[in-house]
Amino acid sequence: MTKPIENVTVFFGNGFKPIKNGDGKRFATIYDKKSRFWKKKQEEKLLSLFRLCAEKVYAYKDFLKKARVNPKNIKTFKDFKKVPPVNKDNYLRSYPWEKLCPPGSFTDQSLVLTSTSGSTGKPFYFPRNGALDAQSSFYHQMFLKNSDIDPNKSTLVLVCFGMGVWIGGVITYQAFKSISERGYPMTILTPGVNKREIYEALKNIGEAYDQIILCGYPPFMKDVVDEAKQNGVNWHDYNIKMIFAAEAFSEKFRDYILRKTGMKSFYRDTMNIYGSADLGTMAVETPISILIRRLALKNKKLYQKIFTEATRLPTLAQYVPEFIDFECIGRSIYCSGNNVLPLVRYEIGDSGGVLYFNEMEKLFAEEGTDLMTEAKKAGILNSVTEFPFVYVYERTDLSTKLYGAIIYPEYVKVALQNITLEKYVTGKFTMFTKHDKKQNEYLEINIELKPGINESSWLQEEVAKIVFEKLKEKSAEYKNNADMLNGKIVPKIIFWPHEHPTHFQTGIKQKWVKRV
């Protein structure tokens, strides 16, 4: 089997520059740049992208004109912060498709289209060229290096994302295909969200490979993990790693997946991607970001310093400012990136925050902890880069309210990850706020049972009790209501058979919250 090429070519700015890939050592060149470099680079890239769009993109020129912004007055990064943000309503859906892109974008290059899920409105179709695929392959190759995937051993990649109009499956396939073509040999199979095909592949060809990487949507991959034994698959027969995307998950979820599959390292064996149809693979978990999140969960003061909301757990990822830039205004995340459809200060609909690496180190130091010492203890020092961090909560528009208390899906997710319940429920649910005949509000949670499990009064009472206690723990408003309303806000639990199409149709993203 051929060895990987000495220099891995990665998209970098307007051209391609080599990034060395040493044996067990830290990556060279941009991987060794410090926080101050990335801060300066981010400011330069944002100004450059703004000027490009203000000059060449008709829609953006018109948007600035209507906002009474003269591009000539935007000379510094301080000036740039005064530029109004764009979003789907005031920009993407307000102009014809071709006006959102520089002239020639649709005739001078080959394009791929992907669609948003439509979960928050009408789907929008984003065009992309090879630049986003190259950037995605860079992030995926970071995972290969950080997870100690040996390029001299046989590797099988199973892409278990949907392969339709959505971005996850296609861009993951393209990322690994690009890496393989650069001299990092691997075999790629795209079973998509077909569990039978995944198990058949593992049983028929899995043992022929030294290393297997499974890529998929977290709730779906949990199903794949849980149902493996009854489908003739023993995870301990394989050396696997997992890549997730599309939504946040807890460290309890990560612990569960590692325990069930036999993966060894919390920090190296899994990665969650923060991506979008809008701008592709935008940021990824790294060993250091996972370590930071796990350490913060053990230190309440540190957690509150890093994250804005003490009761919610965000995804913490790192990003390369050469590819994309993030800003936080209030608690909203804004991203800027250059592709076929360039976006400047784009309100993507997520909430969270942004921290430079040196800012993160300072927060740890204030609590008497040296971050690099902790990285050394965890055995991940050789994977550490000073790329900036972005943390992202699940969307605030995908929540429900009960007597004024906001109920986020992650509150219920954590409750269902209880060790008492994991034998009975998959962890997937759909919740509503409803009204009874007297117009009293109540929370209905529809929960998926594992295959072969039947509902019982004991299970219903146990789930209701555990969810109720977790909601009180996570939400002060909910707890106050519980104390005042004498049992009126205990959730109503309804069980459904595994993969029942009413709420748990296989092959699509789970709708955690529905409107009635």
Q: Give the domains, in start order, of the chain with CATH numbers.
A: 33-88+286-394 (no CATH), 109-283 (3.40.50.12780), 400-496 (3.30.300.30)
Q: Which amino acid is at 94?
A: S
User: Which residues, in sequence order, are CB contacts of 30 under 8 Å at separation 6+?
Assistant: 12, 19, 320, 322
| Rounded-to-integer distance, Cα 483 and Cα 480, Å | 5
Is residue 321 predicted with pLDDT exceeding 90?
A: yes
**The pLDDT value given to residue 507:** 66
| Rounded-to-integer distance, Cα 461 and Cα 413, Å | 17
Task: Indicate the helix (H) or strand (E) that contains 343.
Answer: strand 343-355
Is residue 23 predicted with pLDDT exceeding 50?
A: no
434-451 confidence digits (pLDDT tens): 877 766 778 999 999 999
CA-based nearest residue to 410, from 512, 309, 510: 512
Q: Based on C-alpha coordinates, what's the Rg of the chain?
A: 23
Q: How far is CA 333 from CA 43, 78, 106, 329, 395, in A?
A: 16, 18, 29, 7, 11
448-488 confidence digits (pLDDT tens): 999 999 999 999 999 999 999 999 988 878 887 887 777 77
**The pLDDT value given to residue 147:** 94
Contact by Cβ (8 Å): 78, 363: no
Exposure string over 122-136, b if 16+ CB within 10 A, otherwise e: eebebbbebbbbbbb
pLDDT band at 305 (very low <50, low <70, confident <90, very high): very high
Mean pLDDT, the chain, as a whole number?
Answer: 88
356-400 confidence digits (pLDDT tens): 999 999 999 999 999 999 999 999 999 999 999 999 987 755 788
pTM, rounded to two decimals:
0.83
Could you say which DSSP state residue 371 is in?
Answer: H
- Burial environment of residue 301 by CB neighbours within 10 A (0 to 12, 13 to 18, 19 or more): exposed
Contact by Cβ (8 Å): 23, 59: no
Strands 441-449 and 425-435: antiparallel
End-to-end CA distance of the chain: 57
**The pLDDT value given to residue 283:** 97
Which pair of tokens denotes residue 360? 């993160």
Mean pLDDT of 503-509: 79
pLDDT band at 309 (very low <50, low <70, confident <90, very high): confident
- As a dihedral over the C-alpha atoms of residue 253, residue 259, residue 264, residue 269, rounded to 10 degrees, the angle is -30
Most distant CA pair in the chain, distance: 72
Please report which residue ranges of 186-343 form alpha helices under DSSP H. 195-205, 218-226, 251-261, 287-297, 300-306
Contact by Cβ (8 Å): 176, 157: yes
Is residue 202 predicted with pLDDT exceeding 80?
A: yes
Q: Which amino acid is at 180?
A: S
3-state secondary structure 141-205: HHHHHHCCCCCCCCEEEEECCCCCCCHHHHHHHHHHHHHHHCCCCCEEECCCCCHHHHHHHHHHH
Exposure string over 107-118, b if 16+ CB within 10 A, otherwise e: eeeeebebebbe
| Rounded-to-integer distance, Cα 133 and Cα 38, Å | 22
| Rounded-to-integer distance, Cα 244 and Cα 274, Å | 9
